[in-house]
Amino acid sequence: MGYDILTRVIEFTESDLAIDSRMGKVAGLLVKEFPFDSCAIYAWDDKEKLFKLNVAAGSRKGRVESYGQNQGLPGLARKTKKHLEAYKPGPEGILWQETEDRGLKGFKGACVYPLKDRQRWYGLLYLKSAKKVELSPGEKKLLEVISRLLVSNFKCKHHSQSLKKAGTKIKDIHSRLTQAEKLIVLGELSATFAHEIRNPLVSLGGFAARLKKKIEPDSPFNVYVDYMVNEVRRLEQIINNILRYTEQKEAVFEGTDLNNILSESLAFFSEVFKKHDIEIVEGFARKPLRVMADRHQLKIAFDNLIANAIQSMEKGGKLTVSTSREKSWAVVDLTDNGGGIEPRYINNIFEPFFTTKKYGTGLGLDITKRIITKHKGRIDVDNKMGQGVTFSVKLRRA
């Protein structure tokens, strides 16, 4: 019978099935061909120091999900590094009685085969029977060989997992490289942008502003001039964003009050709030919220969040800005009621160049996230479709 079983085990372990399914088939075969009622294959988790049930076949009785490194027969096998047999009663009865193993309840015989090589443990094979069984030397040898095949299978599993990890890493590196390439091109472009586009824009916007001063306040042309002034400012803002993005400036950290930075950011937008009929509700922590931060960069981060909120409420709305303490964190919550972000976009919003707006570089939130990350803080989004979005920024308190 030995060779038949071995052939089938090899067929299973070499099949195209998923590795765990292959082992499941082997477990089923062992229950069928050997005088055992239950077969379980455990995987060794080196981090948690546990044998965890990987696959099982046969009786569900006494099935234990995991064994600690000193628990039950598996624990003993781990300690002695040997294969064990235990019977009740019998000459090996002492082992049975001295080993506390809740998995043995209802069984009269059990054996454990370590699944390991010289370097490491992969798991173990645990076979149990309701009756006392005595294995012939040939059967024992066969089980040893099968155990080795199982070890190969575990090795396969580990390798395929590390391959998968490597694959993910390569993908990640690839996407970063693509992004870096984009950045280099953008860096070169933005330098051209800065000079070739900013200069004419300054003239255009500057003269429009002068025109505004010259025409009567009630002239119908005011509308046109306002458009000119505002559109030029918007274009300038886009250039600033692109330039900031390509400018890899070192942060200069100093003790600073978060409330103060936010107030400045809000003041900066006061005219725009008025224009779009946006109500500001401030709920600042009463005492200053000290953080170690690059003031200039944090302001850019908040400016971007506020600008985003404004863009979602161009026809009016309410922006709630609050700061608070949460253990060792200083927290800023910015909530708009601009209807929220479509759920399918929510995972993309921090990606560079991603935008749902007709005009926009798609860099604002990416810049913000980079700045917050540089400050070892975090930024979370709470999106309520149909209502609005809350951006929460957490920074370590100084």
Partner 1 sequence: MKKRVLVVDDEEGIRLLYKEELEEEGCEVTLAASGEEAIEKLESDSIDLVLLDIKMPGMDGVEVLRKVKEKWKDLPVILCTAYPHYKNEFGTWASEAYIVKSSDLRELIDTIKNILEMKQ
271 is an interface residue for partner 1 by CB under 8 A: no
Window 187-206: residues binding partner 1 (CB under 8 A): 191, 194-195, 198-206
Smallest distance, partner 1 to C-beta of residue 397, A: 29
Is the Cβ of residue 177 or residue 185 nearer to partner 1 in the bound state? 185
Stretch that binds partner 1, among 95-103, 170-178, 240-248, 279-287 (CB under 8 A): 240-248
Is the Cβ of residue 202 or residue 385 nearer to partner 1 in the bound state? 202
**What does the block give as tokens for 190?**
């933005």
Q: Cis ω on the peptide bond leading into residue 288 (within 30° of 0)?
A: no
Is the Cβ of residue 160 or residue 203 nearer to partner 1 in the bound state? 203
φ, ψ at 32 (rounded to 5°): -75, -45
Residue type, 253: F
Is the Cβ of residue 177 or residue 191 nearer to partner 1 in the bound state? 191
Residues 140-179 as x/- pattern, contact with partner 1 by CB under 8 A = ----------------------------------------
Cα Rg, the chain, nearest whole Å: 34
Residue among 196, 227, 199 at smallest CA distance from 211: 227
Rounded CA-CA distance 24/321 in Å is 56
247 is an interface residue for partner 1 by CB under 8 A: yes
Site size with partner 1, rule: CB under 8 A = 24
Is the Cβ of residue 163 or residue 202 nearer to partner 1 in the bound state? 202
User: Pairing between strand 50-58 and 66-68?
Assistant: antiparallel
Alpha helices in 34-136 (DSSP H): 72-80, 93-98
Task: Tally Cβ neighbours within 10 Å of residue 160.
Answer: 12
Smallest distance, partner 1 to C-beta of residue 206, A: 4
Query: Which of 20, 33, 139, 236 contacts partner 1 by CB under 8 A?
Result: 236
229 is an interface residue for partner 1 by CB under 8 A: yes
Smallest distance, partner 1 to C-beta of residue 398, A: 25
Q: Are 372 and 396 in contact (CB under 8 A)?
A: no
Rounded CA-CA distance 319/17 in Å is 56
Rounded CA-CA distance 258/394 in Å is 11
Is the Cβ of residue 206 or residue 283 nearer to partner 1 in the bound state? 206
- For the chain, give the number of residues: 398
Which residues would be at the binding site for partner 1 (CB under 8 A)? 191, 194-195, 198-210, 229, 232-233, 236, 240, 243-244, 247
